[in-house]
Amino acid sequence: MKKLISVIFIVVSYSVLFASSVPQWFTNPEKVFPSESYIRAIGEGDSQREAKSDALAELTCYFSQAVSSNVSVFKSLYKNDLEYTEKTGLNQNMKISSSAQLFTVQYTSSCYDRSNGKYYVCAFIERKAAWEIIKPEIEKAGEEIKIFLDDAEKEKEPLLKIIQLNKISDLYKNYLSLYDTALVIYPKRCGEFNDFSKKTFARLSELESLRKKIKVFIQTEGDRDNFIKSKIESVFIKNGISPSAERTMYLVDVKINWNKTEYNGVYKSAPVIQISVSKNKKTIAYFSAVCEKVSSYGYELTDSLAKGRLCDLVEERFYRECFGGMLEVDYE
Q: Pick from 325, 254, 314, 252: which is nearest to 284 by CA?
A: 252
- Which residue numbers in the chain have pLDDT < 70? 1-20, 66-103, 325-332
Would you state the pLDDT for residue 102? 53
Contact between 253 and 219 under an 8 Å Cβ cutoff? The reply is yes
Q: Are strands 282-290 and 272-279 parallel, antiparallel or unpaired?
A: antiparallel
The overall pTM is greater than 0.95: no
Q: Are strands 118-126 and 38-45 parallel, antiparallel or unpaired?
A: antiparallel
Would you state the pLDDT for residue 38? 92
Would you state the pLDDT for residue 77? 39
Q: Pick from 274, 46, 86: which is nearest to 179 by CA?
A: 86
